[in-house]
Amino acid sequence: MSGSGADRRRSATALLVQKELIMSVTEITEAQQYLTFKLGNEVFGIEVAKVREVLDFATITAIPRTPEFMSGVINLRGSVVPVVDLRRCFGMSKTERTRSTCIVVVEVMLENESTVIGALADSVEEVIDLEPDQIEPAPRIGTQVRTDFIRGMGKRDSRFLMILDIDRVFSADQLAAVHAVEGGELVAEAVA
């Protein structure tokens, strides 16, 4: 019997993750539209169906004792909307406000419940159509690096863009923090 039990579990986990990534790409059977945006020099895409709107950078109210990826909340037509810094979620430096900085308001599923979240982006590029043959599975980098939030790699002209599965971008702990802000617990605490 070769390999330890831990090695076999890692291999099995890697195969399941790879199979799931391939399955998520094979689920794309017709052309879809993606909103593309930049974080640093990287281009990302989100299904247009998940995007509610794109806002110019607005005043964000910071909430104490939230994780560093939580920028705070905005008032969106009377509703409190948590805003996350996607650059921080991906291990990049904090988003710096520029003339191009914007908030992409998306609808994600948190604990089987639809939730509206604002995501900071350095700039929004365009809406593009991608055919299924223009999308490849995300590269498998090993079991130490999370790529489960990348639905696939879109090919457009001579460049690639990472297509995000926005429902999977956040870890369980991050989702709990977003849900707490969205639910108003931390907002009420900050006002008190």
Residue 72 backbone dihedrals phi, psi, to 5 degrees: 145, -145
Query: Is residue 186 predicted with pLDDT exceeding 60?
Result: no
Provide the pLDDT for residue 20. Answer: 44
What is the chain's mean pLDDT, rounded? 77
pLDDT tens string 90-134: 888 899 999 999 999 999 887 778 889 999 999 999 999 998 888
Q: What percent of the chain has pLDDT over 70?
A: 69
Selected from 3.90.470.10, 2.40.50.180, 2.60.300.12, 3.40.50.300, the CATH number assigned to the domain covering 5-191 reads 2.40.50.180
Query: Is residue 139 predicted with pLDDT exceeding 50?
Result: yes
Residue with the larger pLDDT of the pair 85 and 145: 85
Provide the pLDDT for residue 142. Answer: 55
Identify which of 69, 70, 82, 74 has the alpha carbon closest to the alpha carbon of residue 115.
82
What is each CA distance from 115 to 34, 172, 188, in whole angstroms?
20, 15, 18
Helix (H) or strand (E) holding 119: strand 113-121
Tell me the pTM: 0.72
Q: What percent of the chain has pLDDT over 90?
A: 36
Query: Is residue 87 predicted with pLDDT exceeding 80?
Result: yes
Residue 79 backbone dihedrals phi, psi, to 5 degrees: -105, 140
Query: Is residue 148 predicted with pLDDT exceeding 60?
Result: yes
Mean pLDDT of the region 48-59: 92
Provide the pLDDT for residue 185. Answer: 53
Which letter does DSSP use for residue 20 in this model?
H
Give the N- to C-terminal CA distance of the chain in Å, as an integer.
61
Mean pLDDT of the region 32-38: 94
Of 22-26, 75-79, 144-148, highest mean pLDDT: 75-79
Provide the pLDDT for residue 180. Answer: 64
pLDDT tens string 2-30: 444 444 444 444 444 444 444 444 455 67
Residue 28 CB partners (closer than 8 Å, separation 6+): 132, 135, 151, 152
